[in-house]
Every structure is written in C-alpha cells, then in structure tokens.
Chain A
Amino acid sequence: MSATDYGWLVLAFPVAGMLIVAFGWRLLPGRLPGWIASGAILGSFLASLGALDTVDGEAHVDSAWTYVDTAGFTADMAILVDPLSVFMCLVVSGVSFLIHVYSVAYMGGDRGYSRYFAYLNYFVFSMLLLVLAANFVILIIGWAFVGAASYLLISFWYRRTTATYAGIKAFVINVIGDVGLVIAAFLLFDNTGALDYAGVFGGAEEAFGTNDGTLVVACLMLLVGAFAKSAQLPLHTWLPDAMEGPTPVSALIHAATMVTAGVYLIARMHPLFELAPTAADISAIIGTATLVFAATVALVVTDLKRVIAYSTISQIGYMVLGVSVAAYGAGLFHLMTHAFFKALLFMGAGSVIGAMAGIQNLDRMGGFRKAMPFTFITFTIGALALAAFPLTAGFFSKDEILAFSIERGGGFVVLALLGYVAAFLTAFYAFRMVFRVFFGDPVPEARELEGGHVAHGEPLNPMTGEAEDTDVGFPGPEHHVAEQSWPMKVAMAILAVLAIVGGVVGIPAATDTLEHFLEPTFEDSRYIDTHPSEGAEWVGLAAGGLISIAAIALAYVFYIRRRGITLQLRDRFAFAHRFLEHKWYFDELYDAVFVRPFTGAGAFGRRVIETDFVQGFIVGGATGVVRAGTSFARAIQTGYVRAYALLLLLGVGALGLYFLVQSS
C-alpha cells in the first residue's frame, strides 16, 4: 500500500467508529461503545504507523474526488501525506487512543456514555482531516469541524449552565479564528489563483516580494486563525473556561491535540511566513507574551484544572515561538512531548478530582500521596516533564526552542530570555500543584481513600456550588480514581513512560531523529542551515536544567518547609495578587469592550428602535392614519335601524330622481 492509502485509512477508522457508536448505541451493551471507539482510534494509529513506514520524504497528494469545479478552478477532496502530516497523525491518534482508553473507565457511570464516544471519534476524525488536508478548502473544513467538536464536548454536560456558557464562548472565539483563516485563504487565492498548498506556496514566491503588504495581511489573518485555535493572546480567554468539559476532554482537545492546531498551521505555512518575516516576528512576540502571561496567571489560580489550562496556554506559547523563529523541528518536538505530559497531568488531575468527589479547588486538597501512590507518581512525572527537569521529555524540547531563538540573534535573544524566566515560573507552578495536592496533611477525602473507599459528596457544580443530579446532562454518579480502574492506570502508565523517554527522539547531537524525519517538509526553509551549535545547545540545556531545579527547590521551600510564606507574600503584594488572580483582567476588559456595548446596543435596539420606532411610529402611525380617516364612516354607523332605513330610502330616492332627470 502506498502512503496515501494509509492516509485514507487513518481517516476512515474514526469515521467508522463514530457512525457505529452514534447509530448503533442501542444495540451495544455496557462499555462496548467505548471499546469500539478506542479500537477505531487504535486502527487509525496503526494506519499512521503504516504511513510512517511508507512515507519517503516526498509530499504524496491523493485526491478522492473533485470537491469544487467551477470557473476554471478546482479543489479536490485531497490528502497530503508527508513527514509533517504523518508526524501529526501519529501524535494525534496515539494520544487520542490512550485518552479513549482512559475515558472508558472515567466516563463509565455517565448517562451520556455513547454520545461521549461518538463526539470523541468525531473530534479525532476532524483533527486528522485538518492535518491531512492538501488544500485550504479541506483545511478549513477540518478546522471548523474541530471547533464544533470542541463545542460539543465542552458543553457535554449540557444541563450545567456554566458548561454551556463556556461552550458558547469557545465556539464564538473559534469562529473568529475561522473567519481569519477564510480571509487568509481568500487573499492567497486572489493573488496566486490556487488553493492547494503546493500551488499557493509556488504562486506566492512569484506573486509577492519579501514582506509584501498583502502577504503580511494574509499571514496575520492566518495567525488570527492559529491564535484563536491555540488560545494565544488576545484570543485565549476561552481555554480556561473550556475546563468545564469532562477531564479526558480537557486532556485530549484542550491540551494535547486541538489547541496545537495553530502550531501545525504555522509550521505548514512556513514558506509564507518566511516570505513575510514581519508576520513571523509578530507571531514570535505574541507567543512569548502569551507564555509569560499564562505562566504568571498559573501561579495564583486555585482551580486545579485551570492551573493546567493556563500551563497549556503557556506551553503553546513556546511552540508558537519555536515555529515562528523557524525552529520547526523544535516546535513540533515540543508539541509532541507536551501532548504526552499534559495529557498525563490532566489524567492525574481527573483522578484527584474523582477522589475529591468533584471538588477542583487546590485549597481544599492535600496529602493524597499515601492515598493515591500511583496517581502521585505519574502526576509527578508529568510535572517534572512540564518543569523541564533534566532528562525528561520537556527538558529537551523546550530548551531546543530557546536555543534556536538565541541563535537567531537580535530581538529574539530577548524573547528567549523571557522564555527562560517563564520556564522558572513553569517549574514553580508545576510543583505548586504537586506539593499542594499530594503533600501536607491529608484532607478527609484522602483519609477515606486510604481506608479503601472513595468519598461521595452531593453532586454539585464545582464552579458555582449549585445543586445537581446525576442524570443525563450532568456528570454521572460514580467517581473514578485511577487507583481503582485498570484502563485509566494503563493509559497513565504509558503516558508517564513517554513523558520520561519521549525526549530521546530529539537529544541534540545524539539522536536528532525527529528533526531528520521532518527535514523533507522543511527543506525549502531559508533557515534550514541556521542551527545552534552543539556547544550552545548543551549550555542551554544546562541553564534550563538549573532553572528547573532551582524553581522546584523554591516551590519546596514555599509549600513544604515554610508554608505560611505564601500567605505573607499574598498580603504584602495584594495588588499584584489581585491582578494575577483576575487573569490580568482580560475577561473584564472584553466584557467592557465587547460584551457590554453589544448588550447595550441590543437593549437600545429593543427599547428605542423596536418599541418606539417600529411599534410606536410605523405600526402606530399607520393605524392612527386609518383611524382618523375612517372617523366619518364610523360616525354614520349609528346602530339605529330606522336611521339606516331613512338613509337607504333617501339614497334610492336620489337615484330615482337622477334617472328621472337623465331620461327626460
């Protein structure tokens, strides 16, 4: 089989799984829908491995049918199989498979079990379509599909008001990105006359000079799409709220795969961004701003899942920085390692939240080390990889990005230094989570779990405290803890291993496997020969390792040795704390700039335009004119029968006289 055959198989498995689960769920007993969905993704992963085996550095394009054929222009339902798309397929289907397996147990008690897996398979299909697309039409379709899947899964517990609001918020911001992507595709088509990648990239070389204004605008529009999907400033506000979805969804869509679509887009469009360096520089600056911003917010957020969400925003900032400074291999390497350790962290968080009977507040947690040794170990491994602790996967990938930025020189050195500052914060907040959840005095829930059974609180909304039930549309009655169910354990164990050893594909100078594998895709890059020297990379690694260890040590001092110090600091720097706790007031700003004016305009329209103008002036005026015009006619209608008779007689008499006069 050729590489493209495998590419079609990669797409076919999730579609089949989705259809079987969505339409056959009545016939499928127990947990079978989950296993079918997992099997479909496993098939996809195996097909990706087949593609990995057959792909040979060439870009294979295969068209199934002509999608659009009009006015001398055609767009095909075509897939592109090259090292980049194969790499993305492997990451997406591999991590998705593990999260499917985890979900089989985690969602076991939920009344929406089959619906959940149908959505999940639909998401995986959309994501694979996005990465396999060979032209902008299919890319936009996949792009919009993943947005829809994300909406469906954030609002999965559809009777929980906060979840439906979060879903709407995510969808609206994603649509802003979709519009950006469509405008970019239009601008490129307008100037190059093509929508397939090869045609656009070839045409752009001819149509545009370096930093051509139109091309920069097109690239900025691509960035709007990428930033909305990848939750970068200033379109990041939806991602923390997206944590309202089930925890495996947060792990899969809002950490490991979908939110990295923006990184993939920038990497895929690298010929355009290299032709428009201004756009690439803006992208690098925004990526850096985002990674610093999100890291500072993650320091103070007390919701366990939202800490990890801000961490995700921050880590995607690193990837965006990487692909924007043309460190494509490094950026995608970080994308892969991040998928491993972030999915792992979310799974651990899901386990802890299960043990806490749904409570997500870090202030309420503590001392789970003895109660959940397995979760403790795997979560700590994930946190170590996130903190870029020496020899873990995150260690190699993050520092490669920063080393490459320094190599580019100039302003990029400043960005890299900010990246190191944020790396310190990252390690600190990662271990803030570990120390606050697993160390200290065990909370009642932890003691109960040590005694062998899971705490069962009343079902309520963790955000607002509203009472809920456990029927469909709300989380199910059972709380699942990784310690007690083997599918969750298996998924977490595999990811933990990957989070440790995932770095071996990119150890500088030793095993640059990934970079060599991806090289054919990026061989047209003008920075292909720009590469930090071995010495610089090792210095960078040493610096990153030291920063990581120092930050973990500081977190140890703050949260274990001198526990009161954080409270003192909070009181001392109350203003800064409040600023960070409100997430730099982004939500408040958007509320004031967008939401309030729009609701105000809506209220104005309803009160003045609708009530006063339309109903009052137009409708009321029309009836008033008719009423005034008919007042005479109404006055004749006295209701007296005898008056009618008189009028009738007078009328007939007048007519008779008229005819008499006429005829004589």
Chain B
Amino acid sequence: MDITWYLVLSAFIFAIGAAGVMSRRNPLVVLLCLELMLNAGNLALVAFSRMHGGEAGQVFALIVMVIAACEVVIGLGIIVAMYRRRLPIDVDEMSELRG
C-alpha cells in the first residue's frame, strides 16, 4: 500500500500548524495550531501503522490524543487566568522568561 499521499497531507497540516504557532499572537489560535501539528503527527502514525499492519501506531495516536486533551486543558486554563487578571491576550506580551 502506498502511503505517500497520507504523509504529504500530514506534512502539509504540520507545516500549516507550525506556521500558525509561529506567526499568530493570539494564544487561542496558537493552541488550535498546536492541535493541528499534533493531529498531523497522528495521521502519519496511523498511516505507518496501516502500512506495517500493526496496531502500535494506532495506540500511539490514541495516547497523543489524550496528551493533546491535557495540553489544551492547561493551555485554556492559562488563557482564562490571563483573562481574569485583565492581562492582554497576546503571547508576545508574556515574555517574563527573558534571561
């Protein structure tokens, strides 16, 4: 089975997500783009799984989904906290980690 098209699609989605993470300043959109990148990875995992005929790749994909859910919970929690403290909803404003 040829998985080239799956991988090309996956690479496109990943590139769109990465570009979004780096170019957008709204943390909500950044989180959405992160989801895109994770799901691009999921797609590649499932495609490889199909190619090899094993289930490991699908299990990995499920685990990635769980992690993605957790990450979104934390990310949204941070965003809500920023909103509550009337901070600007802008990732460039949150630069306290500067060395």
Contact = CB atoms under 8 A, between A and B. Distances in A.
A593 interface: no
B1 interface: no
Interface in A599-644: 633-642
Contacts of B25: 642
A645 B97 contact: no
Most buried by B among A637, A639, A646: A639
Contact of A638 (B22, B23, B98): B98
B96 A642 contact: no
Contacts of B97: 637, 639
Contacts of B21: 642, 645
Given A634-B99, A636-B99, A642-B22, 18 more contacts: A633-B99, A637-B97, A637-B98, A637-B99, A638-B95, A638-B98, A638-B99, A639-B94, A639-B95, A639-B97, A639-B98, A639-B99, A640-B91, A640-B92, A641-B91, A641-B92, A641-B95, A642-B23
B18 interface: yes
Given A640-B92, A641-B94, A646 B99 contact: no
A639 B99 CA distance: 7
Given A642-B21, A645-B22, A635 B99 contact: yes
Contacts of B92: 640-642
Contacts of A640: 91-92, 95
B53 to A, nearest CB: 23
Contacts of A638: 95, 98-99
Contacts of A645: 18, 21-22
Contacts of A639: 94-99
A83 B91 CA distance: 99
B76 to A, nearest CB: 16
Interface in B13-45: 18, 21-23, 25, 30
A649 interface: yes
A638 B21 CA distance: 17
Interface residues of A, number: 13
B88 to A, nearest CB: 14
Contacts of B95: 638-641
A198 B23 CA distance: 100
Nearest to B24: A642
A642 B99 CA distance: 16
Nearest to B92: A640
A642 B25 CA distance: 8
Contacts of A637: 97-99
Interface of A: 633-642, 645-646, 649
B4 to A, nearest CB: 16
CB-CB nearest 5 A-B residue pairs? A637-B99, A639-B95, A639-B98, A634-B99, A639-B97
B22 A646 contact: yes
A475 to B, nearest CB: 65
A453 to B, nearest CB: 80
Contacts of A634: 99
Contacts of B94: 639, 641
Nearest to A631: B99
A529 to B, nearest CB: 95
Contacts of A646: 22
Contacts of B22: 642, 645-646, 649
A362 to B, nearest CB: 77
B37 to A, nearest CB: 10
Interface string B64-99: 000000000000000000000000000110111111
Nearest to B23: A642
A637 B96 CA distance: 10
A631 to B, nearest CB: 9
Nearest to B15: A649
A645 B20 CA distance: 11
A457 to B, nearest CB: 69
Nearest to B98: A639
Nearest to A637: B99
18 contacts: A635-B99, A637-B99, A638-B98, A639-B97, A639-B99, A640-B91, A640-B92, A641-B30, A641-B92, A641-B95, A642-B21, A642-B22, A642-B91, A642-B92, A645-B18, A645-B22, A646-B22, A649-B22
Contacts of B30: 641
Contacts of A642: 21-23, 25, 91-92
A421 B30 CA distance: 107
A641 to B, nearest CB: 5
Nearest to A652: B18
Contacts of B23: 642
A490 B74 CA distance: 93
Nearest to B34: A645
Contacts of A635: 99
A634 B98 CA distance: 8
Nearest to A643: B22
A298 to B, nearest CB: 76
Most buried by B among A635, A636, A642: A642
Nearest to A630: B99
Nearest to B94: A641
Nearest to B91: A641
B28 to A, nearest CB: 13
Nearest to A632: B99
A639 B25 CA distance: 14
B24 to A, nearest CB: 8
A645 B37 CA distance: 12
A636 B97 CA distance: 11
A639 B92 CA distance: 8
Contacts of A641: 30, 91-92, 94-95
Most buried by B among A637, A638, A649: A649
A374 B94 CA distance: 94
Contacts of A649: 18, 22
Nearest to A644: B97
Contacts of A633: 99
B45 to A, nearest CB: 16
A15 B23 CA distance: 90
